[in-house]
A and B are shown apart, each in its own frame.
Chain A
Amino acid sequence: MLRKKILWLGGICILLTGLSMFGGMSFIAPDAIFKWGSPDAEVFWRARMPRVVAAFLAGAGLSMAGMVFQAMFRNPLASPFTLGASSGASFGAALFFGLGAAGGGGLLASLGGMGAAFAGSLVSMLLVYLITRARGGFSTPVMLLAGVIINFFFSSLVMFIQYLSASYDALRIMHWLMGSLTGLDLLRLPDLCFVVLACALFLRRLASEIDLLLVGEELAASRGVEVKSVKLQLFGVSSLLVAAIVSVAGPIGFVGLMVPHFCRLWLGSAVTHRSLSVAVFLGGGCFLALCDLVARSVLAPAELPIGIVTALIGAPFFLWILFRCNKGGSAF
C-alpha cells in the first residue's frame, strides 16, 4: 500500500518534472529537441534541461533538509531557514556584491558570489552550533533560538550593506535575496548534483535514527542511538546541503517547510523516514521544478524570481500549518 503510493508519487513527480522542461518563455515541441542544431534543441539542452535539473536538485535537497530539521526539532515549522542558513548565505552574497566586487581583487572577489554565499551559510550554521554547544549539551530549544538570533543578526548586516552600497549593487543584492535560478552557472551543476545526491543518501541511511529522535532523545538513547553524534551528523550534513543549494540558487524559502508536510499528507502521517525521505526527495524536486516553470512563464518574456513563487504559495501554507497545530496539538 505504502510502496504503491510512493511509486505513484515518484512516477508523477518525474513525469511532471520532465514535462516542465518543455514549457516556459516559449513552448518547445517534443519532436524539436532531437533536431540537432535547431534553436529549439539548443535552448532545450543547454538552458532548459540543466535549469530544470538544478531546480529539481535544489528542491529535493532543501526538502530533505527541512524534513530532517522538523524531525530533529520535533517542530513542524522548523526549516533550513529558521536555522540561520539562508541569512548567512545572504550575508556572504551581499558582502560580495556590495563590497567585494566593487573593490575588485582580494579574497572575496576570487571566491565569487556563490563561494561567498557558501562560506556565509557555513559560518552562520557553525555559529548556531557553537552557541548551542556553549550552553552545554546539544539542546533543541537552544539551537532553535540560536538560529533565530543568528538570522536576525545577519539580516541586519545585510540591510546595513545594502544601505551603504551603490544603487545598482543594492538591486543585485535584492535580486539575489529573492532566490533565482536565472543566472545559473552550468559549471556548478555537477558539483550540486554530487553534493545533493551524496547528502541525500547519507540522510536516508540515518532514517531509523531520525525516527527515534522524533520519538524523543531519551528514548532514542535508550534504544541504542548515540544521540549527540547523530544530531551532529544530521545537522552538519543538512547544513552542507543547504549551503551548497543556497550558494547556487539563492535563499529559496518555504520549500523545505512545505514539502515534508505535503508528503506526510499523501502518505499518511504515520509514515517512517525510510519511506518519507524518498517521497520528500522526489516531491521536493518536482515541486521546485514546477515553481520554476511558473516563474519562467507568468511574466514571459521576463522572469519572476522563483523565491517569490514559493513564498506566495508558502506563506498561506505556513498559516495553515499554524492553525492545524493549534487545533490538533501536532502537525506531524
Chain B
Amino acid sequence: MNKSVKPILLLNNFGFAFEGEKVLQGLNFSLNKGDFLYVVGPNGAGKSTLLKALLRLHERGEPTGEIVLKGRILAEYSRVELARLLSYVPQAEGWIPPFTVSAFVELSRFSYRKGGNSESSQTSREVVARALRATSMDKLAARPLWALSGGERQRAYVAAALAQEAEIMLLDEPTAFLDPRHAAELNQLLSRLNKTEGLTLICITHELNQAFAAENKILVLGEGSQLYFGETAGLLDGEILNRAFKYEFTIFRHPRHGCPVVLV
C-alpha cells in the first residue's frame, strides 16, 4: 500500500459508552478515499451506535479514543463543516417529510448557504439536478415524497445525500425495506457512485452476501467489539462470522469472484 496516502477516516481505539455501559470498544481501522465499507453484525452489536458516532448524532454518551476525519479530530469540526464531509442516508421508513423530491434534495445544500457561505440559487439548482439525474430521480422531481414507492423514496434519500457533495456517505440499512429487485438496483447505484465519482461509502447492512461482493471492505462487529476488518476473502473460513452471530453459517466460495457466499 502506498504510505503517502493519508486515510480519509481513522479510528484509533475508539469506544462508546452510555452511562458507563460500554456499547463499543477497541475499534481500530482506517479508510482511504474511494473505499466501500460494509458494517455487518448481529442486532445490538453497535453498528448504529458507530454510525451515529461518526455523524456526531449522539446527544448523550461518553466516547473514548479518537476518530480522525481528514487529519482532524472529528469533535473539532463545526456542524456545517462536517456536513460538507459526511452525508447521511437514514432509513426511509416511518415519518415521510411533506416535501417534493426536488425541495427535499435542495435542503441538502444547507451547509453551502450557512456558515458565512452564500451559494447562488443557480449553483444549488445545478447540483440538485445532477444528484437527481445520478439517481434517476429527475423524472420524479416534482412529486411529493409520500407519492413515491419505497424504492423510489430510498433513492430520493440517496439523491439528497449526494447533493450534499460530501466525500463520505453513510447509509443505514438502505435496502432493509426493499424487494430484491429494488435492493439490487440501489446496490448497483451505490457501487456506481463509488466507482465513477470516487465516493467513499460506509454502509450498515444485514445483507451479508451483498456486503461480501469482492471489492468491498468489511467490518464485523460483535457485542460492541471489532471482530474483523479487511478484505472479504478473510471471512471465507466462517469462524469469525459464526462467532459474531453465534450461529453456524454454511459458507461457500463464490465460483467466479472468489468472495464468500453465505447460506443461512
Binding site for B on A (CB under 8 A): 74, 136-137, 208-209, 211-212, 214-216, 218-219, 221-226, 264, 269-270, 272, 330, 332
Contact = CB atoms under 8 A, between A and B. Distances in A.
Given A211-B99, A270-B98, A219 B110 contact: no
B95 interface: yes
B107 interface: yes
Interface in B84-114: 84, 86-88, 90, 95-100, 103-104, 107-108, 110-111, 113-114
A223 B83 contact: yes
Interface string B45-62: 000000010011101100
Contacts of B72: none
B115 interface: yes
B144 interface: yes
B108 A223 contact: yes
A218 B98 contact: no
Contact of B100 (A212, A215, A216, A270): A270
Nearest to B144: A270
A325 to B, nearest CB: 13
A211 B86 contact: no
B146 A330 contact: yes
Interface residues of B, number: 34
A212 B107 contact: yes
What is the interface of chain B mostly: helix, strand, loop, or mixed?
A: mixed
Interface of B: 52, 55-57, 59-60, 79-80, 82-84, 86-88, 90, 95-100, 103-104, 107-108, 110-111, 113-115, 144-146, 164
A216 B97 contact: yes
B83 A272 contact: no
Contacts of A264: 98
B98 A332 contact: yes
A212 B88 CA distance: 13
B107 A74 contact: no
Contact of B97 (A215, A221, A222, A224): A215
Contacts of B144: 269-270
B79 A215 contact: no
A225 B110 contact: yes
A330 B90 contact: no
Given A221-B57, A224-B83, A269-B144, A330 B98 contact: yes
A218 B90 contact: yes
A136 B107 CA distance: 28
B160 to A, nearest CB: 8
A221 B95 contact: no
Contacts of A215: 97, 99, 104, 107
Contacts of A218: 52, 55, 57, 88, 90
16 contacts: A208-B107, A209-B110, A212-B107, A222-B57, A222-B87, A223-B83, A223-B107, A224-B83, A224-B84, A224-B115, A225-B110, A226-B79, A269-B98, A270-B145, A272-B103, A272-B107
A269 B98 CA distance: 6
Nearest to A222: B88
Given A215-B107, A218-B57, A222-B87, 13 more contacts: A136-B59, A137-B60, A208-B107, A209-B110, A219-B90, A221-B56, A223-B107, A223-B108, A224-B110, A225-B110, A270-B99, A270-B103, A330-B146
